[in-house]
A = this chain, B = another copy of it.
Amino acid sequence: MPRTRVTVWNEHVSERREEAAARVYPLGLHAAVAEGIRDVLRDAVEVRTATLDEPDQGLPEAVLATTEVLVWWGHVAHEQVTDVTVTRVRARVLAGMGLVVLHSGHLSKVFRSLMGTSCNLRWREGEDRELVWTVNPSHPIAQGVPHPLEIGPHEMYGELFDIPQPDELVFVSSFSGGEVFRSGCCFRRGAGRIFYFSPGHQTCPVYRLPGVRRVLANAVIWAHNPAPSPIVPTVSVESPPGWFRRQREPETDG
């Protein structure tokens, strides 16, 4: 079976500027996320990383064209991601590339442009204990995930989270301060599958937790569309009577 090709993208800024982040993720968040996915999925994946300061912001066409699932972590540098990059990534998602958006990536241009809403939320850095509860037990992303998955201390992310109603809501978190958050959300857009997962503050070793690694691995498998449908139209297409029969003729002849 061919391996799922995953690219973990990280702006890689906080871990080089903030001591607290550098201590937790000395090699960058992307390294820990990539390691977690590799540890769970082993031979089923091929994982590389990319960062903002690389050529073409780490995501040239050549990389995107060979990426089946893109994992995205960003926070303080959202505005540095150029519209060219956003357009390129978004087009690939609509054409079938999976997208897993992590934590503060909720405010990334890519995610917001695919959601259509502000994606704002409430937040608090502090000592909250987060519990991630499964509310969709037959969903592939919930498989093997503890109920609840305990995370803490962690940054609080709270409702109202201004997103479209998820196509499938998988996880809901509570925080010791009393807030709740839709922490695991599936969306389908074009031929692409998108999963948002909220845990993962840069100063908390969240991506080292086995339960979180299980979620990331499950999300990668779920988001991977091995045969993206060719039927998503890239422009609105004039379609004469019987077009759908005529388009088949070559197939019949072949």
Contact = CB atoms under 8 A, between A and B. Distances in A.
A245 to B, nearest CB: 8
Interface string A137-158: 1110011101110100000101
A66 to B, nearest CB: 19
Interface stretch (A23-31, A50-58, A226-234): A226-234
B167 A168 contact: yes
Nearest to A147: B231
A174 interface: yes
Interface of A: 94, 96, 107, 113-118, 120-124, 126, 129, 131, 133-139, 142-144, 146-148, 150, 156, 158-162, 164-165, 167-169, 172-180, 182, 187-193, 225-229, 231-245, 248
A139 B227 CA distance: 10
A124 B225 CA distance: 31
B178 A124 contact: no
A191 B137 contact: yes
Contacts of A114: 116-117
Given A236-B122, A237-B120, A239-B156, A143 B96 contact: no
Contact of A165 (B120, B122, B167, B232): B167
B241 A148 contact: no
